[in-house]
Amino acid sequence: MNIILMGPPGAGKGTQAANLVKEYGLTHISTGDIFRKALKEQTKYGVIAKYFMQFGHLVPDDYTIEMVREYLKENTFENGFILDGFPRTIVQARELESIEKEFDFTIDAIINLDKLVKRLSGRRTCKECGATFHVEFNPPKVEGVCDKCGGELYQREDESEEAVTIRLDTYNKQTKPLIDYYTMKGTIININ
Ligand code: ADP
Ligand code: ZN
């Protein structure tokens, strides 16, 4: 089973993906995570992506598509996979069709948009283990310290209020039209 997971930043795609991984043994492929890893390791894609990611802009299509193409080629997915964060533009959706055609569902995670800025800009991430918290909705026991490993919590650059606003704007302009595209194909499921 292959699934495309869509929805605005902060809708809880990562959480839902984790549930699907547990339930169906799917492999979770998050282009955001792949970019962040590349950034840490300073690979070619990481160096390019940094400038776009930090301000909340999309990484240009050619690099993103090339990276996904390589990733899908180099890995095997026994029970199928969940694509989280790709495609995000019509160009990417078209390219995906030439890479991998078999998708069973497209899931559209729906959320009230005015909740998102608060949800995203309050998020704090552990420098050591990557666990996430929220200053208001899921605070750590000790402010600024990870419950799981004691690591230091920080705010991701692209989770500042300015960057979040740009990300939502980008989503509305570039990614939302894809929902119509998949609706026309008839394989979309809406989840609140
Ligand atoms: P979000 O919470 O916005 O869904 P992600 O972790 O999926 O965040 O992505 C983080 C960043 O990585 C995006 O803001 C963008 O800069 C880059 N990125 C991820 N996926 C794509 C994509 N398909 N096309 C272009 N840029 C992407
Ligand atoms: Zn931690």
Our answer on whether the CB atom of 8 is closer than 6 Å to any ligand 1 atom is no
Q: How confident is the model at residue 62, as a pLDDT?
A: 95
Ligand 1 atom with the shortest distance to the CA of 52: 16
Q: How confident is the model at residue 25, as a pLDDT?
A: 94
Q: How confident is the model at residue 135, as a pLDDT?
A: 95
The environment of the single-atom ion ligand 2, i.e. residues with CB closer than 5 A, is 126, 128-129, 131, 146, 148-149, 151
Secondary structure class of 181 (helix, strand, coil): helix
Q: How confident is the model at residue 107, as a pLDDT?
A: 87
Question: Is 101 known to be catalytic?
Answer: no
Secondary structure class of 186 (helix, strand, coil): coil
Our answer on whether the CB atom of 93 is closer than 6 Å to any ligand 1 atom is no
Instruction: Confirm if 166 and 56 have CB atoms less than 8 A apart.
Output: yes
* Residue 134 CA: distances (Å) to CA of 60, 75, 101, 123: 30, 33, 37, 4
Give dist(CA 192, CA 178) in Å, integer.
Answer: 18
Our answer on whether the CB atom of 68 is closer than 6 Å to any ligand 1 atom is no
Give me the DSSP letters along 62-99: HHHHHHHHHHHHH---TT-EEEES---SHHHHHHHHHH
Q: How confident is the model at residue 82, as a pLDDT?
A: 94
- Those residues with Cβ within 8 angstroms of residue 12's Cβ, 6 or more apart along the chain or in another chain: 109, 111
Q: How confident is the model at residue 101, as a pLDDT?
A: 62
Give dist(CA 136, CA 13) in Å, integer.
Answer: 20
Give dist(CA 101, CA 119) in Å, integer.
Answer: 34
In DSSP terms, which residues pair with 105 in a beta bridge? 3
Distance 84 CA to ligand 1 centre (A): 9
Our answer on whether the CB atom of 133 is closer than 6 Å to any ligand 1 atom is no
Tokens of 74: 């180099």
Give me the DSSP letters along 22-52: HHH-PEEEEHHHHHHHHHHHT-HHHHHHHHH
Mutate to test the pocket of ligand 1, among 15, 29, 30, 31 (most ligand atoms within 8 A of CB): 31
**pTM of this prediction?**
0.85
Condensed to tens digits (0 to 9), the pLDDT of residues 20-57 reads 999 999 999 999 999 989 998 999 889 999 999 988 89
Our answer on whether the CB atom of 32 is closer than 6 Å to any ligand 1 atom is yes
User: What is the C-alpha end-to-end distance of the chain, expressed in Å?
Assistant: 22
In DSSP terms, which residues pair with 190 in a beta bridge? 108
pLDDT tens string for the chain (192 positions)? 899 999 998 888 888 898 999 999 999 999 999 998 999 899 988 999 999 998 889 999 999 999 999 999 899 898 999 999 999 999 999 999 888 767 888 888 888 877 788 889 999 999 999 899 999 999 999 999 999 999 999 998 889 988 899 999 999 999 999 999 889 888 898 888
